[in-house]
Amino acid sequence: MPEGAARHPNAPLAQLAPRRIVSSLPRTGGKWLKAASSPSLAPQLLLEAGASPNVRDARGDAPLSLAAAHGHAAAVGALLQAGAETDPVSMGELGMITPLGAAACGDSSEHASCVSLLLAAGAVLNPPSELGLAPPLWCAASAGAARCVAVLLAHGAHVEAGHMGRTPLMAAAAAGCPGSVWLLLEAGAALEAAGSDGGQGWAGAAFMW
């Protein structure tokens, strides 16, 4: 264990992180959590020093959620290997969201890698609608993240799983992402499907073109 680190599963990261890595960081709880999800600060060293992978910051965000949202695949892998819960729920602009949904909101190859890592670890792909969680496919469609749309569909994401009154097709059309629209149509998304506001999926797609 690195010098200056105290080992306790629930101790704050500020007490657990090796001094040579974090000595220059502001000693604020939330920033220590963000440090754990930053690839430049070697989260595996924090974990090896005894940091809990499931600690939350003041907003209720877990390190896995932060790492996934920023597309830090190395951090996601390290946290999962250390025993991080795969589906901690956070609140954001899209409502209640899991790390898989957060990762799906980015269209980089790193975000797609995060999605694949989370799926391999058993993250929930199709949350029951009664839970009120933003479906990961819907998150990807809303963000115009075609790479993640493709990965999620390949793993069996429900193509009509809507949220906030829109189907994934409607969300992709509103985001102005032809790639996502095409992928969803190929996967069987219904043009005539209506959202809770009565809007038609095809209407948004037709308007985009």
Average pLDDT over residues 52-59: 85
CB-based contacts of 170-174 (< 8 A; 24+ apart in sequence): 170/195, 170/199, 170/200, 170/201, 170/204, 171/138, 171/141, 171/142, 172/141, 172/142, 172/144, 172/205, 173/201, 173/204, 173/205, 173/207, 173/208, 174/142, 174/204
For Cα atoms 86, 51, 113, give the angle at the middle one, nearest 5 degrees. 40
Ranges of each domain in the chain? 53-208
- Predicted confidence band of residue 191 (pLDDT cuts 50, 70, 90): confident
- Predicted confidence band of residue 161 (pLDDT cuts 50, 70, 90): very high
For tokens 């980015």, what's the residue?
106
Average pLDDT over residues 178-184: 95
Whether the predicted pLDDT of 82 surpasses 70:
yes
Report percent pLDDT > 70 for the chain: 69
Class of domain 53-208: mainly alpha
The first and second tokens of residue 72, run together, are 């830090």
Whether the predicted pLDDT of 13 surpasses 60:
no
Whether the predicted pLDDT of 25 surpasses 80:
no
pLDDT of residue 202: 53
Average pLDDT over residues 73-98: 91
